[in-house]
Amino acid sequence: MSGTASALDLSSPLLDLLGQQFSREGLRQLLGAVGEQVPAHVWKQALGAPLESVLSRPGKEFRARLLTTSYLLAGGAPPIAAEIPALLEILHAGSLVVDDIEDDSESRRGAPSLHVAYGTPVALNTGNWLYFWALALVERLPVAAPVQLAMLRRMSRAMLACHFGQALDISIMVDGLARADVPVVVCASTRLKTGRLMQLAAELGALAAGAEDEALTALADFGCQLGAGLQMLDDLGGLTSQRRLHKGFEDLRLGRLTWPWAWVAESEPDVAYARLRELAREVRSGRAPAERLAARLRDRVGELGRKRVHEHLTEALGELRTRLGDSESLSALASEIERLEKSYD
């Protein structure tokens, strides 16, 4: 994603949007007279400060870049209005706040998680506020009203699907699920959560460009497949990347269903899989260290996982190239995905 896409810097647009929302005029437009009557320092304490903390932290912004690339692939004239990819980053930021609460994660993007810094009630309200703020901002986008409506519909559907996926992720433990169901549930959770948010990124970019139905569908399908591939990378990286071992250990202690579990469920002999599942129970109960289980899973799926991820991403790119044709933007996208794969080594 080179050129216009890679040059996108969202930190300033996000904070600019936040500043506009908490200006006297922004509060009046959204809340009426009561918005102006509350002193500015009170709004700052209640909502502004935690929001600044979340939105000022640098992230990969890969979803925003996919949105911009989809806009270009669908024939949009650069540059894209910065508010459109900002919507995606706002939704994603809200999901990270809520996800950290559910996982009781201590840090996010190099700083304490919001619930650690401000307490769970403030963090939960802030995360939910970000969801609804993203929806409210759609009416300000420089696109026609029918496009705004289409964006709103896809955003609400994606958010609903993400919560279905999150329910599977936080409620179903690997040691309590039948072996045959593990790959099915892992795939469903991934497609409904990570996949649907990436799909939404592609859809919003395509809609902003006025894409025809064929291109919109092709980009949406690719976004979902790309999201699944990135979740595979993330899950595998929790076992193989020194920088991400803390996240992998966290998933093991919580008994979370991940792609390594899907792969061993498909490939391991019955006795070996039963031993892994018993060790998973011991880790979740605190009777065994997560490092032991991570080492065993890594030995079994390290190379297999890399191969599966690469094949998945290559197939998704090939399908998109077949449906949309080759282009400079697509080649840049392929290069970025290749770099992402290597970054998890």
In single-letter form, the type of residue at position 333 comes to L
Cβ atoms within 10 Å of 5's Cβ, excluding its own: 25
Mean pLDDT of 262-270: 96
Per-residue pLDDT for 10 more than 70? no
- Whole-angstrom Cα distance, residue 48 to residue 33? 19
- Phi/psi of residue 112, each to 5°? -60, 140
Least confident of 38-42, 148-152, 227-231, 271-275: 38-42
Kindly report, residue by residue over 187-204, the tens digit of the pLDDT.
999 999 999 999 999 999
CA dihedral 82, 86, 87, 90 (to 10 degrees): -170
- Whole-angstrom Cα distance, residue 192 to residue 185? 10
In single-letter form, the type of residue at position 34 comes to V
CA triple 59-53-204, angle to 5 deg: 45
Mean pLDDT of 231-250: 93
CA dihedral 264, 265, 266, 267 (to 10 degrees): 40
Per-residue pLDDT for 345 more than 80? no
Per-residue pLDDT for 167 more than 80? yes
For the chain, list the domains and their CATH numbers. 11-343 (1.10.600.10)
Per-residue pLDDT, 11: 57
Within 8 A by CB and 6+ apart from 65, the residues are 1, 5, 6, 8, 85, 336
Share of the chain above pLDDT 90, in %: 84
From residue 50, alpha-carbon distances to 63, 157, 285 in Å are 23, 27, 34
Cβ atoms within 10 Å of 42's Cβ, excluding its own: 10
User: Which band of pLDDT confidence, cut at 50, 70 and 90, is reported for residue 44?
Assistant: very high
Cβ atoms within 10 Å of 200's Cβ, excluding its own: 29
- Whole-angstrom Cα distance, residue 120 to residue 100? 10
Query: Interhelix angle for 196-208 vs 62-73, to 10°?
Result: 40
3-class SS letters over 277-333:
HHHHHHHHCCCCCHHHHHHHHHHHHHHHHHHHHHHHHHHHHHHHHHHHCCCHHHHHH
Kindly report, residue by residue over 287-329, the tens digit of the pLDDT.
999 999 999 999 999 889 999 999 999 999 999 999 999 999 9
Mean pLDDT of 93-103: 93
Within 8 A by CB and 6+ apart from 125, the residues are 47
User: Which band of pLDDT confidence, cut at 50, 70 and 90, is reported for residue 171?
Assistant: very high
Q: In the numeric block, which tokens belong to residue 128?
A: 């939910």
